Chains A and B, each alone.
Chain A
Amino acid sequence: MGKHVLLIEDEPNIIEAIRFILERDGWTVSTHSDGADAVDIVDREGPDIVILDVMLPNRSGYDILRDLRAAEGTAALPVLLLTAKGQSRDREMAETYGASRFMTKPFSNQEVLDSVRDLVAS
């Protein structure tokens, strides 16, 4: 397969866990942990899917998502949004900003894997 996943997340242990899960399934995983230049990284790397944490240093995941959706090249890019806050308002925000899917931490590994597969396949 070799499809490319870009993981934007600042928690090293979570990065390691997700990388392990996805690489074992045959995905190429690159990571980034700063919100400030996340949009540029997405443009440069051109991943098949982005896994985006909401609570990032310097810039919120929602802002990054809004920019991605506003740009032509990434308007339809599958984005899986991760948040640790898990309040209902966060789900609404995710829908408003155009997340392809929304997951609350702590997540199940299988669920992450299934979501990534679904989003890329469709």
Chain B
Amino acid sequence: MVPFDLLVAVCIGYVIFLFLVAFAAERRADAGRLGWLRSPLVYTLSLSVYCTAWTFYGAVGYAARSGLEFMTIYLGPTIVFVGWWWLLRKLVRIGRAQRITSIADLISSRYGKSNLLAVIVTLLAVVGTTPYIALQLQSVTLSFNVFSAAAVEGWQVPDRTATAFWVAAGLTVFTIVFGTRNLDANERHHGVVTAIAVEAVVKLVALLSVGIFVVWGVAGGAGDILDRIDASPIAEWQGGGGRWAPLIFLSAAAVLTLPRMFQVTVVENSDERHLATASWAFPLYLFLMSLFVLPIAVVGLSTLPAGENPDLYVLTLPLAFDREGLAMLAFLGGFSSATSMVIVAAIAVSTMVSNHIVMPLWLRLRTGGASFSGDVRTVVLRARRFSIAGILLLGYTYYSFTGGTEALAAIGLISFAGLAQVLPSLLGGIFWRGATLKGAAAGLVAGFGLWAYTLFLPSFEGTWLMPAAVLAEGPFGIGLLRPRALLGLDTGDPLVHAMIWSLGVNTLLFVGISLVSFPSPMERLQGAQFVNVFQHSSGPGGWVGGSAAAEDLSVMAQRILGPRQAQALFQEAARAQGKEGNLPDPTPDFIDWLERELSGSVGAAAAHAMVGQITGGAAVSVEDLLAVADETAQIMEYSSRLEAKSRELSETAAQLREANDKLTEISIQKDAFLSQISHELRTPMSSIRAFSEILRDSRELGPAQFQRYASIIHDESLRLTRLLDDLLDLSVLENGQVTLHEEPGNLAEILDGAVTATASMATERPLAIRRERSAENVAIYTDCDRLRQVFINLIGNARKYCDAAAPELRIVVRTTADRIEVDFEDNGSGIPEKQQSIIFEKFARLSDQSAAGSAGLGLAICREIMRNLGGSIAYLDAGSGTTFRLTLPRRHVRHAA
């Protein structure tokens, strides 16, 4: 029998040994001689914190009760590690690229560095981990009890809570000493990890030893064991009874989301390549750990009394066969399992608590000080230490309240299910850019709540937290809300039921709300960084071979420069390096040169970033991004300038088109004008020619006829002359080259002259002219001859065109302060509305009927004269008759006075 003192002494000795190992490892690490500390083997062994006392002792009990089902706890992690290329590689890369310190940090960082999420995950971790720590304390206490029960009378075992207390206290000291010795930016703890690795070996050796002893010492070898299995109560296998696949899934999720597993897998990882080793070595470790579980269970079942607790077969079997040494080894194995789990879990959870709860609170409370910069370090360490102590205290308290109950045994899987709530946000976060903070928060809170309601609280089996009545009838007797058959869904298994509800609703909310919500810029940036971590971060220290880099560079260059040019460039570079073939070595010179070539196409910053990604240089830095942004801004400015240019050009083009249209129009007008002049000149000339030929050729003409034809020739000649005069006059007036002979005059006198000049015109009907002498007596200062010309034209038109039976022309003069208006109103039929607009145009003869001798230039000339005199002429649509209104400025009147 093992004396209790010896047991305690062995424990203390073992712990001191671990202290020394951790201390030595820290010393080596401090000296920079990491060596084997950073070997894949140590990494793999540290992962064994997955195997806690619960698995060390409990697996056998589990197997004794449920047969093969215990394997699911190991098969899940096996799948995850064998599939490292999928997920773990990415997680580790993200962890390194983003300097992730915990799973809460990962989730918070992914979703825009939200502290809210970090707090949620931290709380989840605390709630999920505390019972688990209590479970470890219980297993250590139980194992002590096994020895004390077997001990000689008189060795009174101290009360079980005291044992647990001292274990907890010892672990607190150890964890604080090695877990918070310094603040490493990467949160790596070489001492602890090394100690964990040693403990992993102890665990494995212990369990293997017991297993070998059982198989070949107690039973008669492998064949016998198989026979015993057949003979045991667990000989039948029901295919897992609906729990098999869910449990594999659960353990696979747990190996990713348990804080302590995340700590050793991601945070403590010093080299991504260690994963390659762990991918098979860790499953192998698990394989060996579970190889003898079933044999120990069946041998225990068949050899030990029925009352023995199968959870302690690992200890009680060697003791039953008086192998105290082996039992001691097994005890140390269980002790190792418990302590390693507690230490790592405490470090992981305390990191979260201090980083995401204590520090933010402290910083907020200390708003007053900018002076704390010096002591932040101490504050962090202190927060970390208090957190560790707090967590262990919580675990101890939890244990002292619930310890020893059957409830605690089930806490392992319950804890798994609780932390598995992080899984949707975790997987969604690293594979799906659309995942948002709101989705993650909603999913986590809902999953957490449902897990607590359907699994965690009911696990207390009717304490004040959840009375038995609520379990059986539902809260307030509402059957649909029964925690183990929510909405009537009863799977028969509370764990599976809780998983379906919590993970199902969690995932649905996470995906659904992510789909409908919109991420903040920070979330989108982080999302891209996480999902595309292999494009954004540097290579894992030489994963990408040189030739592969050259190939990738070639592919990228082809995309940017076009295949032919890129190939030519690469061939040239290869020749310059003295290499045959198409791919040059990616020497620094070549890369610089390529970068310059590419920067011609995409800008320097973009080229640098792209080349950097492929050659595995630095990750894209903020400076790179800023430079890219700068270049983009420049390009945008340039393109906006181009846009302005092209707008100018199109405006110019429009103006040119307009000018061209005008020119075309003018050219058409000119053609029409020439055509008109031609017509106006040729018509009188025709008459002149015809009659002069008649006079020349006809001898028999009478004197009257001769006289008539001669006078026609004469009239037509005059008409021609008048036409030419008008044309020249108009041309001079239009070009503004006219010389005005301005002089003082009297409007009445000018009108008199005009009336007299037109009186000689032969007309069929005499035109009566009505004037108001008094109004006409206005002194004016203008070119009186030109004004008279206008009057003559208007009076002449009235004489020619007024079609009334008794033609009458009223001349009305009105004088205002600065203007003189002269209206010429006849009583004819007026000018049709659609022709009113063209009457002032050249050759605008409205009707040829009585227009012989007029070329239609009269009104055009009037308009030009009035313009030159500083006045205007307008046609007034008075309803009846034709009314022209002349307007003259009253200038220089005093000269006239």
Say whether A associates with B. Answer: yes
Q: For the complex, give the distance between the alpha carbons of A22 and B712 in Å.
A: 19
User: Contacts of B684 on A, CB cut-off 8 Å?
Assistant: 13
Bound Cα distance from A116 to B220, whole angstroms:
147
How long is the Cα–Cα vector from A55 to B680 in the complex, in angstroms? 11
A55 to B852 Cα, complex, angstroms: 13
Does chain B have a CB within 8 A of A106? yes
Choose among A10, A104, A109 the residue that contacts B697 (Cβ–Cβ < 8 A).
A109
Task: State A21–B847 Cα separation when bound (angstroms).
Answer: 28
B770 within 8 A of A: no
Are the CB atoms of A85 and B679 closer together than 8 Å?
A: yes
Knowing A108-B689, A109-B690 touch, does A10 contact B848 (C-beta < 8 A)? yes
Provide the bound-state CA to CA distance between A17 and B687, in Å.
Answer: 7
> Chain B interface: which size bin?
20 to 34
- Give Cα A12–Cα B852 distance, bound, in whole angstroms: 8
Q: Which A1-30 residues have a C-beta within 8 angstroms of B?
A: 10-14, 16-18, 20-21, 24
Evaluate contact between A84 and B690: CB separation under 8 angstroms.
no
* B324 CB, min distance to chain A CBs, angstroms: 132
| Chain B residue nearest in CB terms to A105 | B686
CB distance from A83 to the nearest CB of B (A): 8
- The verdict on A86 contacting B712 (CB below 8 Å), with A17-B694, A109-B697 known, is no
Q: Is B367 close to A, CB under 8 A? A: no
* A86-B691 in contact (CB<8A): no
Contact across chains for A108 and B685 when beta carbons are under 8 A apart:
no
In this assembly, does B688 line the interface, its C-beta being within 8 Å of a C-beta of chain A? yes
Q: Does any Cβ of B come within 8 Å of A122's Cβ?
A: no
Contact B686 A14 (CB under 8 A): yes
Whether B847 and A16, one on each chain, are in contact in the complex, defined by CB atoms closer than 8 angstroms, is no
| Interface residue from A13, A18, A56, A109 paired with B712 (Cβ < 8 Å) | A13
Cα distance A87–B679 in the bound complex, in angstroms: 10
Q: Quick check: is B836 within 8 A (CB to CB) of the other chain?
A: no
Set B675, B690, B852: member contacting A18, Cβ < 8 A: B690
- Please, which residues of chain A bring their CB within 8 A of the CB of B187? none
Chain A nearest Cβ from B229, distance in angstroms: 116
Query: Is B716 located at the chain interface by the 8 A CB criterion?
Result: yes
Asked if B686 and A16 make an inter-chain contact with CB atoms under 8 angstroms apart, the answer reads no
Chain B 683-725 per-residue mask, 1 if CB under 8 angstroms from chain A, else 0: 1111111110110011000000000000010011000000000
Q: B694–A21 contact, CB under 8 A?
A: yes
Nearest-CB distance from A59 to chain B (Å)?
Answer: 12
Q: A20-B694, A85-B678 are in contact. Are A106 and B685 (CB under 8 A)?
A: yes
Q: Are A16 and B693 in contact (CB under 8 A)?
A: no
A6 and B542 CA atoms in complex are apart in Å by 110
- How far apart are B796's CB and chain A's nearest CB, in angstroms? 19
* B377 CB within 8 Å of chain A: no
| Residues of A contacting B679 in the complex (Cβ-Cβ under 8 angstroms) | 55, 84-85
User: Does B849 interact with chain A (Cβ within 8 Å)?
Assistant: yes
A75 to B57, CA, bound (A): 125
Inter-subunit contact B678/A57 (CB<8 Å): no
Considering the chains assembled together, what is the distance between the CA atoms of A73 and B332 in angstroms? 135
Residues in A whose Cβ lies below 8 Å from that of B682: 84-86, 104-106
Closest-CB distance, A15 to chain B (whole angstroms): 10
B689 and A106 contacting across the interface, CB-CB below 8 Å: yes
Are B686 and A11 touching (Cβ within 8 A)?
A: yes
Using A10-B848, A12-B852, A105-B683 as known contacts, say yes or no to A17 and B675 having CB atoms under 8 A apart: no
Evaluate whether A105 and B685 lie within 8 angstroms (CB atoms) in the complex, with A10-B848, A13-B712, A57-B848 already known: yes
Complex formed: what's the CA distance from A17 to B848 in Å? 19
Given the known interface contacts A11-B852, A13-B712, A84-B679, the answer about A109 and B686 at a Cβ–Cβ threshold of 8 Å is: no
- In-complex Cβ contact of B688 among A56, A104, A106 (8 A): A106
Q: With the chains together, A24 CA to B689 CA distance in Å?
A: 17
A84 contact set on B, CB distance < 8 A = 678-679, 682-683, 686
Q: Which of A38-85 contact B (CB under 8 A)?
A: 55-57, 84-85
A residues within 8 A CB of B693?
Answer: 108-110
- Choose from B690, B694, B849 the contact partner of A107 (Cβ within 8 Å): B690
Complex interface residues of chain B between 426 and 460 (CB less than 8 A to chain A): none
Q: Which A-chain residue is minimally distant from B698 (CB atoms)?
A: A24
Select one of A14, A56, A104, A110 contacting B687, CB under 8 A: A14
Residues in chain B within 8 A of chain A (CB atoms): 675, 678-679, 682-691, 693-694, 697-698, 712, 715-716, 847-849, 852
10 tightest A-B CB contacts, nearest first: A17-B690, A13-B687, A84-B682, A105-B686, A106-B689, A106-B686, A84-B679, A57-B848, A105-B682, A106-B685
Question: Can you identify 30 A-B contacts, CB atoms within 8 angstroms?
Answer: A10-B849, A11-B683, A11-B686, A12-B852, A13-B684, A13-B687, A13-B690, A13-B715, A14-B686, A14-B687, A14-B690, A16-B712, A17-B691, A17-B694, A55-B679, A56-B848, A57-B847, A57-B848, A84-B682, A84-B686, A85-B675, A85-B679, A85-B682, A105-B682, A106-B688, A106-B690, A107-B686, A107-B690, A109-B690, A109-B697
- A10-B849, A13-B712, A57-B848 known, 11 other contacts, Cβ within 8 Å: A14-B690, A16-B712, A17-B691, A18-B690, A24-B698, A55-B848, A84-B686, A85-B678, A107-B690, A108-B689, A109-B693
Chain A contact residues, CB within 8 Å of chain B: 10-14, 16-18, 20-21, 24, 55-57, 84-87, 104-110
